[in-house]
Structure 1
Amino acid sequence: MFGTGGLYLSRRCCKIVSAVERWQVLQQVDKELGKGNERAALNLVRDLQSKPAAGLRCFGAARQIPQRLYTLDELRLNGIETASLLSPVDTTLASIERSIQAAALLGGIAAWNLFDLTPQHIFFMSLGLLFLWTLDTVSFNGGISFLILDTLGHSFSQKYHNRVVQHEAGHFLIAYLLGILPKGYTLTSLEALKKEGSLNVQAGTAFVDLEFLEEVSTGKVSASTLNTFSCIALAGVATEYLLFGAAEGGLSDINTLDRLLGSLGFTQKKADAQVRWAVLNTILLLRRHERTRAVLAEAMAEGKSVGSCVDMIEKTIDIAEL
């Protein structure tokens, strides 16, 4: 028999053993993801999820609101103005782009005066720059331009860097709580280029979405899958809205969701209903787990592995809040 102190010690030891076992499995998950074995990694997570003692308590365990048609007034009652959330404009990168254009213009004028360039020289230089811009737009979907702007943004604007980190932490956390395993993330376009070797790939969070892709390929996406995808897609802009009052990044996320709803034959009214539910559901989840998102963002800013980030979520989150 255990006395009160013995029982407490026994429970504490069980928690320590559970945490150690969880960490060991998550290290294996990182190895499988590193080798590209997404299904093996997902199976490890699901096996660990099924173990009451050492399991992943939070994976796919989020409590969600009922799905129905929510009006704009109901969203406003919850402190949500969709115009500030669903119409992101990146003012930081726009400002940097204007500064580059002004510097190029001033540099051109200085070169003209310094080297006594003729109008013909200026014409051919302008033609060359136009060719490079067109090549980037057509061949790399603007990847080179965005790489330059994004790199400058992270280098000279702490606000921009922090916004990107928080944005991706929102994607990661919501995906995990809804039962989708993140498989990796990048926070800068330069990091994405080094990792993927392509200018067409922007920074962001990637997921083990094998089942979602299988449904999309058949043209039949279940309601639960669509709900999950909708919330994950909007999690970045929702995080920015909560922290900064408006979203600046995430336009591509919104466009991707719009294209999916369009491909599924949604009318505008039905699409609006889906987006409103997803916005409200995601905002409430993020508010409930604000501390966990903040801790996760710190881990991601330090470049922690997926397994480490998952472990951080499990250690930080209050199971009673799920």
Structure 2
Amino acid sequence: MAFSTLPAFRSHYNNCFIFPKIRASSISSSSSSSSAAAPGVDLKTLQSAIAKKDSNAVKEALDQLSEVGWAKKWSSQPYVSRRTTSLRELTTLGMKNAENLAIPSVRNDVAFLFIVVGSTGFLAVLAGQLPGDWGFFLSYLIGSISLVVLAVGSVSPGLLQAAIQGFSAFFPDYQERIARHEAAHFLIAYLLGLPILGYSLDIGKENVNLIDHRLEKLIYSGQLDSKELDRLAVVAMAGLAAEGLTYDKVVGQSADLFTLQRFINRSKPQLSKDQQQNLTRWAVLFSGSLLKNNKVIHEALMAAMSNKASVMHVVRLLEFK
């Protein structure tokens, strides 16, 4: 998920506008009867705002659709209030290995490096059996590949991370994890009233794109208050919560934790280490509870987003599932 130019809420896997009024005299078309607008409701304004990537217009359109009774789930959870949260509560909710949720996973990194080192080492031994100088030259050349990979990781971590993300696709659960993770960000952001402009499940580009210009200004100025920080924390931890409710080990939390830390650093008053830890636990608990209460919708979003459905289609599905 991204707030304009701010860092994206990604899985580890990575002006002035005039707001047109919604006309109540026409009926918008829909690709499916289950997701069609109710009679007398026009969705063209919302579709146009999404297409233009105009977050203010998207929010305005959804607010008006909510007033006429169409967007019932939009901003249906506007009030979040942080409280002291224990690991036991996370476990009771159904989080697996709750004590390790906030520890960045190194599963993909270790697997990638193990394959690189193991395969090059094996090939170097085989090459060493060749006669003459060929055996020495090839074994030395192949064996140095591991050193080159480590050097690239030290100088340009982004290049190595891209390779690791590509390699991660070979894990059988990887695509499902991505869909579960990003669908959770989409669903929780929508329920909390944050406009969604786009998303991607492509490897290395996983994100749900959010822009809220008012929040953006607060973040850049370092003036996030506790109320707004709580909302952003819940959205940031949604992907982690979704994985934690399903898998024994969370893989896609690194970028989300980094983003949450940046929000914390941009807030006032500053939080102590203990308060930061509690905020993370509470945000996981709150988002996890919402996901459990909307499990059918979450799984429907996973399927739709995996099939590259449009944002408009996903919103319709969310409202009528």
What's the C-alpha RMSD, in Å, of the aligned pairs?
Answer: 3.0
Answering whether residue 318 of structure 2 is matched by residue 301 of structure 1, we say: no
Q: What amino acid does structure 1 have at the position aligned with 2:191?
A: L
Instruction: Indicate conservation of the 8 Å contact 2:180/2:242, yes or no.
Output: yes
Q: Is this contact kept in 1: 2:108–2:164, CA < 8 A?
A: no
Match of 1:232 in 2: 235
CA displacement at 1:288 relative to structure 2: 0.5
- Cα deviations by residue, 1:168-215 (Å, 9 ceiling, x for unpaired): 11111111111112222222335x3xxxxxxxxxx3222113322210
Shift of 1:66: 4.0
Written as runs of structure 1 = structure 2, the 5 A alignment for 1:140-179 is 141-143=157-159, 145-154=160-169, 156-179=170-193
Task: Report the alpha carbon displacement of residue 255 of structure 1 after superposing the two structures with TM.
Answer: 2.7
- Tell me: CA distance 1:19–1:268, structure 2 relative to 1, closer, same or farther (3 Å): farther
Match of 1:198 in 2: none
Identify the residue that residue 208 of structure 2 maps to in structure 1: 205
Instruction: Using the TM superposition, give the Cα deviation of residue 53 of structure 1 relative to its aligned residue in structure 2, in angstroms.
Output: 2.8
> Are 1:175 and 1:232, in contact at CA under 8 Å, matched by a contact in 2?
yes
Matches within 5 A, 1:129-278: 130-131=147-148, 133-135=150-152, 137-139=154-156, 141-143=157-159, 145-154=160-169, 156-189=170-203, 192=205, 203-262=206-265, 264=267, 265-278=270-283
Letter in 2 for 1:163: R
Query: Are residues 258 and 115 of structure 1, via their aligned partners in 2, closer, same or farther at CA, if it must alter by over 3 Å?
Result: farther
Which sits farther off after the overlay, 261-270 or 278-287?
Answer: 261-270
Give the residue type in structure 2 aligned to 1:308.
H
1:18, 1:53 within 8 Å by CA — same for their partners in 2?
no
- SS of 1:152's partner is helix
For residues 25-74 of structure 1, the C-alpha deviation after alignment (integer angstroms, 9 at most, x for no partner) is: 343233212xxxxxx34313323322433642222212656432233344
Report deviation, 1:286.
Answer: 0.7
What pairs with 1:305-320 in structure 2 (closer than 5 Å)? 305-316=310-321
Letter in 2 for 1:171: H
Seen in structure 2, the aligned counterparts of structure 1 residues 255 and 76 have a Cα distance that, compared at 3 Å, is same
- Determine what percentage of the aligned residue pairs are the same residue: 22
The structure that is helix-richer by fraction is 1
Determine if contact 1:29/1:307 at 8 Å carries over to the other structure: no
**Structure 1 residue 163 displacement after superposition:** 0.9
1:94 is displaced (CA, Å) by: 3.2
Q: Could you report, residue by residue, the CA deviation over 1:205-263 in whole angstroms, capped at 9, with x for unpaired residues?
A: 22113322210221110222101110111111100011124312212211332343245
CA distance in 1, matches of 2:49, 2:127: 56
* Secondary structure in 1 matching 2:304: helix
Counterpart-to-counterpart distance in 1, 2:303 and 2:144: 45
- What residue ranges of structure 2 are gaps of 5+ in the alignment? 1-32
Where does 1:85-164 land on structure 2 (aligned, <5 Å)?
Answer: 85-91=101-107, 94-114=110-130, 116=132, 117=134, 119=136, 130-131=147-148, 133-135=150-152, 137-139=154-156, 141-143=157-159, 145-154=160-169, 156-164=170-178
Q: How many residues align?
A: 283
Query: In the superposition, relative to structure 1, how do residues 162 and 188 fare at CA in structure 2: closer, same or farther (>3 Å)?
Result: same
* Change in CA separation of 1:275 and 1:109 when aligned onto 2, cut-off 3 Å: same
Query: 5+ unaligned residues in a row in structure 1: which ranges?
Result: 1-12, 34-39, 193-202, 317-322
> How big is the shift at 1:129?
5.9
For the pair 1:283 / 2:298, whether they are aligned, the reply is no
Question: Which residue of structure 1 aligns with residue 25 of structure 2?
Answer: none
Q: CA deviation at 1:295?
A: 0.4
User: Could you tell me how far apart the structure 2 residues matched to 1:41 and 1:102 are?
Assistant: 48
Q: Please give the secondary structure, in 1, of the residue aligned with 2:52.
A: helix
- Report the counterpart of residue 14 of structure 2 in structure 1: none
Change (3 A) 1:315 1:93: farther
In the other structure, the counterpart of 2:57 is 43
In the TM superposition, 1:47-62 aligns within 5 A as 47-51=61-65, 52-53=67-68, 55-62=70-77
